[in-house]
Amino acid sequence: MTALTITPMASLEELVPALAAEGLPVDDIEDDGRAFFAFHHAGRCIGFGGIEGDGPDRILRSVVILGAARGQGTGRESVALLESEARRQGVARLHLLTTTAADFFRKLGYRDHDREDAPKTVASSREFAALCPASAEYLVKPL
């Protein structure tokens, strides 16, 4: 597969059904402080992801790769693009919650942490406080 490109999303209308189909939270995606991106390959949208918050600690959000693009390294490449965008914005650490993809993120350098150790700016987000279940695994990666 050739390189992916990342572009900020002007509209979230494609994002909502993709996230809902994967069981990912959609209730807060239009709240302030969230930036969502589309990943493209050969001119075709193959997935989405986002970064939430401000300051040095932010949340990696809603990474989803669409159907036929799965299993080709696109998830790994998409996360790398989001990490590069976060670095460009001065982010020091990315945080995430997941119920299904902890092993995938561990392979990308994310490490398990206790949820109660999350910085206040992360812990007070709707995703951490209400949308993700207590059983979700909490991982962090320094950038």
Return the domain boundaries, the chain: 5-142
Please count the other Cβ atoms lying within 10 Å of the Cβ belonging to residue 72. Answer: 13
Question: Angle CA(67)–CA(22)–CA(11) in degrees, nearest 5?
Answer: 85
**What single-letter amino acid sits at 128?**
F
Please count the other Cβ atoms lying within 10 Å of the Cβ belonging to residue 58. Answer: 28
pTM (2 d.p.): 0.92
- Supply 141's token pair: 């990666």
Per-residue model confidence as pLDDT tens for the chain (143 residues): 568 999 999 899 999 999 999 888 888 888 899 999 999 999 999 999 999 999 999 999 999 999 888 888 899 999 999 999 999 999 999 999 999 999 999 999 999 999 999 999 999 998 888 888 888 999 999 99
Classify 7 in phi/psi space as left (phi over 0), alpha (psi -120 to 50) or beta: beta
Candidates 60, 54, 87; CA nearest to 75 is: 60
Residue where the block lists tokens 């990666």: 141
Superfamily of domain 5-142: Gcn5-related N-acetyltransferase (GNAT) (3.40.630.30)
